[in-house]
Copies of this chain bind each other. A is one copy, B any other.
């Protein structure tokens, strides 16, 4: 079983309102000590990685205003997650960092250097969750009238990836760096070449600024569930992050993704929220305590943006029409799974026990372990992205109570494997597999 903590550099990530809980420390999101402590905690728990979400733009669909998002800290204020990595890497040796970066507005030459830098500094522990964005407010903030259409964004991403693959995999050959003081040769110029890219969006002539980092390309995550998103994931992703409310619905998505990617293996992580107590009774009391701090308006502000429909205009029991807007399609699918096509605000809020759209797993350590194992079996997933509830106690209790049970059952590791993030996850080499499209740029 693979485990990532799923977090975001903001007071309100998925479970809206919980920053108001007296024991919650999410409001410390801008303090370095908060992140350094989190990294140490996760490494103590042998977590595979910290998966950091990100979003550009602000949630201004609900009531056609950002007010609710601001008031309830729904992913705003929000820091740049890449800036957190080196501090967390400095206090850990094995924890991976899967960072969400929207490529739609990044110059590939600069982005490639940023990622190579972090792969060097982390000693090969960097992952990238590839996203293309979905908020019009982001496009306007970047200087565009609106964003590209859904499928066009993926075409753009395909080209962007070709460029960064070429820089990461193709610009510097193995052995280019000699660092030979006696001969006074740092880099063998014969092993470095300029990348020439002439594509639809970009025309670039560039030598990568960085020597090869331990993994060259970071571990590639992707989370799209639309038809085009699945095709993209099948081509590029090594790890996929899926969401869904029932194992059977997720199983269908996972089977499709695995079939599309074959023979390349995929590691699939499903989003989960766990509330664990020493007893089931304690867990249920904890859930009630947490739920009392959830924010309904925060949930609606978040859902309005991610479903592409202004929920402010609907009565509690009025069926909600699917928006024509820029929904995350997997979220639409989730809602349909939960409540059928004619869902209402009340149904959404009833299901959003802690403000999220997946049901929390609640119970004593054995019950939680049972539920996680059942998910793995029924949905054929490899592990979980664990959403935070009250931080950091939700992770502390998971590590202290659930991890030992999983270890005793032989389903979770008792020590980190050696090597880079990719080696730890796949048990093979540090580089992208030979069958990956990036690998053909290794033409030295």
Instruction: Report which of B140, B188, B203, B209 forms a contact with A77, defined as CB distance below 8 A.
Output: B209
- The complex is assembled from copies of this chain, and their number is 2
A30 within 8 Å of B by Cβ? yes
Query: Roughly how many angstroms separate A36 CA and B185 CA in the complex, as a whole number?
Result: 27
When the two chains form their complex, are residues A22 and B86 in contact, meaning their CB atoms are under 8 A apart? no
Contact residues, A275-323 vs B (CB, 8 A) = 295
When the two chains form their complex, are residues B84 and A87 in contact, meaning their CB atoms are under 8 A apart? no
Instruction: Report which of B21, B72, B82, B206 forms a contact with A141, defined as CB distance below 8 A.
Output: B206
Contact residues, A59-110 vs B (CB, 8 A) = 65-68, 70-73, 76-80, 82-87, 89-91, 105-107, 109-110
A179 within 8 Å of B by Cβ? yes
Q: How far is the CB of A207 from chain B (nearest CB, A)?
A: 5
Query: Roughly how many angstroms separate A71 CA and B187 CA in the complex, as a whole number?
Result: 5
Instruction: Report which of B71, B79, B106, B206 forms a contact with A110, defined as CB distance below 8 A.
Output: B106
A142 within 8 Å of B by Cβ? yes
A142 cross-chain contacts in B, Cβ below 8 A: 107, 109-110, 204, 206
When the two chains form their complex, are residues B185 and A77 in contact, meaning their CB atoms are under 8 A apart? no
A235 cross-chain contacts in B, Cβ below 8 A: none
When the two chains form their complex, are residues A58 and B22 in contact, meaning their CB atoms are under 8 A apart? no
Q: In chain B, what residue has the closest Cβ to A73?
A: B186
**Interface magnitude class on chain A:** 35 or more
Query: Roughly how many angstroms separate A237 CA and B22 CA in the complex, as a whole number?
Result: 43
* Contact (A117, B83) CB under 8 Å given A73-B186, A109-B142, A189-B67: yes
Stretch with Cβ within 8 A of B (4 or more), from A11-19, A221-229, A334-342, A396-404: A11-19
A105 cross-chain contacts in B, Cβ below 8 A: 107, 109-110
Instruction: Report which of B87, B90, B181 forms a contact with A22, defined as CB distance below 8 A.
Output: B181
A19 cross-chain contacts in B, Cβ below 8 A: 179, 181, 186
Q: How far is the CB of A195 from chain B (nearest CB, A)?
A: 9
A184 within 8 Å of B by Cβ? yes
Contact residues, A168-192 vs B (CB, 8 A) = 172, 177, 179, 181-182, 184-189, 192
A177 cross-chain contacts in B, Cβ below 8 A: 77
When the two chains form their complex, are residues B204 and A72 in contact, meaning their CB atoms are under 8 A apart? no
Top 6 nearest A-B pairs by Cβ distance?
Answer: A141-B206, A73-B186, A86-B87, A67-B189, A30-B120, A77-B211
Q: What is A's interface to B at a CB cutoff of 8 Å?
A: 9, 11-12, 17, 19-22, 27, 30-32, 36, 56, 58, 65-68, 70-73, 76-80, 82-87, 89-91, 105-107, 109-110, 113-114, 116-118, 120-123, 137, 140-143, 172, 177, 179, 181-182, 184-189, 192, 202-207, 209-211, 213, 295
